[in-house]
Amino acid sequence: MGSAPVNVCVSRRGQQAEGPAAVLAIGTANPPHCVHQDEFPDYYFRMSRSEHLTDLKVKLKRICEKSGIEKRFFHINEEILAAHPDFNDREKPSLQARIEMTVTEVPKLAARAAAKAIAEWGRPATDITHVVFSTYSGARSPSADLRLASLLGLRPSVCRTTLSLHGCSGGVRALHLAKDIAENNHGARVLVVCAEVSLISYSGPTDGCVDSVLGLALFGDGAGAVILGAGPVSGSERPLFETVCAAQTTVPMTEAAITTQFAPGGMEYRIGKQVPGIVEQTIRQCLLDVTGPLGIDVVTWNDLFWAVHCGGRAILDSVEAALGLGSQKLAASRHVLREYGNMSSAAVVFVLEEVHRRLTSKNADGETAEWGVMVAFGPGVTVEIMVLRATTNLEEK
C-alpha cells in the first residue's frame, strides 16, 4: 500500500496533456431567414400586428439606424407568428410552445456549425471526446447537447456538459472550460458549440415602452463551433490559436445590470443602460489582472489583436475608449455586429473566425499581431477573458 500514492501520481501525470490547448477548427451557421436592419422596424411592427404604435415605431427606427447593424438572421418569421399569435403578447402563456420549437431548432442549427468545424478539422466526428454546449435557448433535459451528439454521430461515451443562461459571456466561458478539459485529459478533443434561437424571448412591443424593443434591435440567431485540443497531431491537425490563459471576473454590485429569467410568456431579459459605463470603468483593470503576469500591459494594447464580443455598438465603443485602441483594432467585432447583430454566446465564435480570416488575409484589412485577447460580458456583470496566441504562419501573408 505504501507505493500506491506514487503510482497514482505517475498515472495522473500520464493523463495530462502536453502544452496549452489550441483552437483546431472553427465553424459558424445562421438560419436562412435574413432581415435587413433598415427594413426591420416595418417588418417587426407588421409581424407583431402593432403598426398602430407609430411613435414607438419611429423610436425603433432611430435605434436601428444607430445600432451599427446592417442585417440579422432569424428562425422566427411571419408564418410562425401566424400559427402562434400568442408569441406577440407577453401576458399570454407561450413558454411551452417556444420550448417545443427550440428543442428541435437549436440542435439543428448547432449541428450545422459543428459539421463545418469538424470538416475543417479533418478528423472523424467519432474522435470527439467531449462536448461543451452553451445556450440561453434551452429549458429541457435531456438538453440540446444530447440531441447534437446524436445528429453528429458522436460516440455514446462522449462526455457532455451544458452551460445555460450565461448570455453573451457564454462563448468564452465554454472555451475556458474546454481549455481546462483538453489540458487535463491526454488526447482529448473538445467540441465547443454555442447556439442561440431568439424565438424563446421574442415578444411584441408594449405600448409606449422603448425598453420593450431595445433588445429586438440588437439580437439575432446563430451558432458557432470550435474544436480544442492540446498536443496537435503533426500532419493532420493545424492549430489556429493557442489558448494561453483564461480568467473570469465578476464586477461587484452589478447583479441587476443584466438579468434573464423564464416566465409563462417566454424568456425575459433586461440589459441596463449602465452596462456600457460599467464596461468602460472596469475592463482595463480586469485585463491587467490577467495579462500583467505575461508582461502585457497598457503600453501594448494596440500591439494585440482583439476578439471582443459584439454586444452592441456602445459596448465596443466603451472597450475602445477605455483601452485607447486604434480605430481598426475592433474591426472584426464591428464586422460581425454589422453582418449578424448580437447572437449572444455564439457571437464571439464569429468574431474569432473573422480575426483568423484577417490574420491570414493578404488584403489591406489583414491583422499582423501574434498575441491577442478574447473578451465577453454577461450577467453578473461577468467579464470573461482569454489570452490567445496566433499560431498561423503570418509570414505566408
Give per-residue pLDDT as tens, 70-83. 999 999 999 999 99
DSSP 218-276: TB--EEEEEEEEESPPTTT---SEEEEEEEEEE-TT-TTTEEEEEETTEEEEEE-TTHH
What average pLDDT does the segment 324-332 reach?
95
pLDDT digits (tens, 9 = 90+) for 202-260: 988 876 667 767 888 999 999 999 999 998 888 889 999 999 999 999 999 999 998 88
- For residue 394, pLDDT over 50 is answered with no
What pLDDT was estimated at residue 208?
62
Domain layout of the chain by residue ranges: 241-391
Q: Which residue has the higher pLDDT, 3 or 52?
A: 52
**Catalytic residue chosen out of the listed positions 9, 64, 159, 168:** 168
CB 310 within 8 A of CB 159: no
Q: Which residue has the higher pLDDT, 74 or 397?
A: 74
Residue 9 among the catalytic residues? no
pLDDT digits (tens, 9 = 90+) for 9-38: 555 566 776 789 999 999 999 999 999 999
Fold of the CATH domain 241-391: Peroxisomal Thiolase; Chain A, domain 1 (3.40.47)
Mean pLDDT taken over the chain: 91
